Amino acid sequence: MRKIGLVLAIGVMLGTSIGCYRLLLGGLFAAQAAAPISDQQEIAIGQAGVEQILAKPENRLYREPRVNAYVSEVGGEMARQTGRANLPWQFFILESPQKNAFSLPGGKIFVTTGILRSMDNRAQLAGVLGHEAGHIGARHGIAELKRALLARGVLISALGDTPMAGQIAGRLAAELVLRGYGRQAEFEADELGATYSSKANYDPRQLEIFLSDLGKSGESPAWLSPLETHPPIKERIERLENFIQKKNLGGSRIEAIPFKADMAPLGKND
């Protein structure tokens, strides 16, 4: 009963479809047994997370077409570098002054208007989206989910084969991946973001510059430190700089002026 109570205590209901619930449930059963989770199951888990995020009144989508098209275009460039082009990649902008970006399994990436306003050029956007695409490409969210389920001994099967069980499974999956990643996953995502940027001919050092600018801002941007497990900004910058030099990564695209023109609808920083 304690295990059932632990599952029931997590979050709000998602209201997923029966088909989605079965995919989610199957994926979580596989995670408990440390078996692979299929792309289809991963996509369902990510979609459940999106539904949970957008169900919260404070999470309002920024719908200006020009900015959304721009972010999706750059995000698509990064997604193509991951080797997971089969995923239904989607890029969402949330209206928030917070400087934040995060990703869910299955190709779902969110950025805030606050973090977009903090950027100076297209290459910095590519670096941030590349970082989040790196989490998805490396399946960091799925790995975290599997570890957490096994560590907690959560037995979804104890709830029975019901729609409620599927809703709880989706809720649990979304919460776990939204908590953030550990140090090594963040370092790897930084490196993948720089690598993807370079492959698309962007200057990979712009990610390093953006991280440095955020660190100098005097704030604690949500993108850098949502959890104590995130590495300090100085350490991230040093490791990223060494990685770029070691791998001899390069790229000529920066595109500051076009970026500022396309981001103009966002207005200035608050």
Hey, which residues are catalytic here?
A: 132
**Cα–Cα dist 246/240, whole Å:** 10
Place of tokens 């928030």: 96
- C-alpha dist (Å) from residue 256 to 121, 217, 249, 260: 4, 20, 20, 6
**Cα–Cα dist 240/21, whole Å:** 39
Q: 202-228: buried (b, 16+ CB within 10 Å) or exposed (e) per residue?
A: bbbbbbbbbbbebbeeeeebbbbbbee
Contact 233, 224 (CB under 8 A): yes
Cα Rg, the chain, nearest whole Å: 19
**Cα–Cα dist 62/73, whole Å:** 16
Place of tokens 């692979």: 36
Contact 38, 27 (CB under 8 A): yes
Contact 241, 90 (CB under 8 A): no
